[in-house]
Amino acid sequence: MNSGDKCSLEQAYRQGMEKLKNAGVPEAELDAWYLLEYVTGIGRASYYADPDLKMPAEQKTKYDKCIEVRSRRVPLQHITGEQEFMGLSFHVNEDVLIPRQDTEILVETALELLDREKDVFQRERGTIRLLDLCTGSGCILLSVLHYAKCRMEGTGSDLSTRALTVAEGNAQRLGIAAEFIESDLFNDISGRFSMILSNPPYIRSSEIAGLQDEVRLYDPIEALDGRADGLYFYRRIIAESPAYLEDGGYLLFEIGHDQAADVTEMLRRQGFDEIRVKKDLAGLDRVVYGRYIK
Ligand code: GLN
């Protein structure tokens, strides 16, 4: 192609896809497509109506840049700056774990329990208080607050100031009222809650090196590393939670696929009742919860 010639959408897309494939990017076709859509704002229907449409030079330059960055295995979501979760759009960057689809099971479980118990919670305490430990982007807390059919006060906490900046931005962007506190788990939290949720870091330290590059290099390590046996945060949260749960309150976790037995046992020993495990869409154990009855 002469340097004066403009590149068509289809040519750009094919080049982008090839580069991503050569770089070993999983789902190269899809990512090349998403980036094309991101840069041009053109959807599938318009693309197929006229794939020969010429791309303005500055768009082509931007697209090439995005492809180059993605070929270094920078996650797509860090390039576009967003990830959809529970049908809501969350801003993300390298300071927070990118919301995973699997985590929607945790949110759905929380919503089911709230729907079932909201009248009791409200009658007994007036206000339903919700706490999300290790909130990261805020995706769990903010989705529960957005979809719950009852009025609640929501608090999100994280050890990372930078993560909290992202979470606060997401609350604003979605127009959801929530409080964010910088705290190492419960250290700076006060009062009692009807429900405590957490998707803490749960990968065994020795398994981090084997994760895909997008996760290993670009998700914050503090959001992944659950120490030697992966259970460090569950152990601490379960031990300390009775002082922060109302009578009859729930503690809900996302877990790794092989952690249900250990986390269930920890909850049982701490005196939790009604312990349940829920699976994700792949049929893997994904959520464990229990109820604290004094
Ligand atoms: N599920 C995440 C992953 O696949 C890990 C999230 C976590 O440690 N809480 O990497």
Out of 159, 199, 222, mutate this one to test ligand 1's pocket (max ligand atoms within 8 Å of CB): namely 199
The reply to whether 199 sits in an annotated binding site is: yes
Residue 219 CA, closest ligand 1 atom number:
10
What's the pLDDT score for residue 126? 84
What's the pLDDT score for residue 1? 44
Percent of the chain with pLDDT over 90: 95
pLDDT tens profile 149-161 = 999 999 999 999 9
What's the pLDDT score for residue 39? 98
What's the pLDDT score for residue 156? 98
Q: Which residues line ligand 1 (CB under 6 A)?
A: 97, 100, 199-203, 215, 224
Compute, in angstroms, the gap from residue 250 CA to the centroid of ligand 1: 22
Residue 126 DSSP one-character state: S
Query: Rounded to 5, what percent of the chain is helix, strand, coil?
Result: 45, 20, 30
pLDDT tens profile 237-279 = 999 999 999 999 999 999 999 999 999 999 999 999 999 999 9
Query: Rounded to whole angstroms, how far apart are CA atoms 182 and 195?
Result: 19
In the chain the beta strands, taken as DSSP E runs, fall at 82-85, 88-91, 128-133, 152-158, 179-182, 193-198, 245-254, 272-279, 285-292
* pTM: predicted TM-score of the whole model, two decimal places: 0.95
What's the pLDDT score for residue 228? 98
